[in-house]
Structure 1
Amino acid sequence: HPDGALVKPKDPREYLSILQFHQRVSISNEYGFD
């Protein structure tokens, strides 16, 4: 299932910020940054 599927924040902006955070983490991991 997609990341955040079990998370249902009341504010959709919160969901977007979480999604963007995970995207940044994934990109950082790909390039070997901590």
Structure 2
Amino acid sequence: IRAGRNLPDKEFRYLRTVIVTAAVYRGFDQELRLR
């Protein structure tokens, strides 16, 4: 996405952190459900 390159470093870091956190929670939730 070209628009993503125009994002400030702070916003990019925040966005990436949110995505990573969501992915971690998703994986954690799936593990708990399997048990």
TM-score by length of 1: 0.65
Identical-pair percentage: 4
Please report the RMSD computed on the Cα atoms of aligned residues, expressed in angstroms. Answer: 1.5
Any stretches of 5+ residues in structure 2 without a counterpart?
Answer: 31-35
Runs (4+) of structure 1 exceeding 2 A deviation are none
- Contiguous gaps of at least 5 residues in structure 1: 1-5
Counting matched residue pairs gives 27
What's the TM-score, normalizing by structure 2? Answer: 0.64
The structure whose Rg is larger is 2
Q: Distance in 2 between matches of 1:19 and 1:30?
A: 17
Task: Quote the Cα distance in structure 2 between the aligned partners of 1:24 and 1:13.
Answer: 16
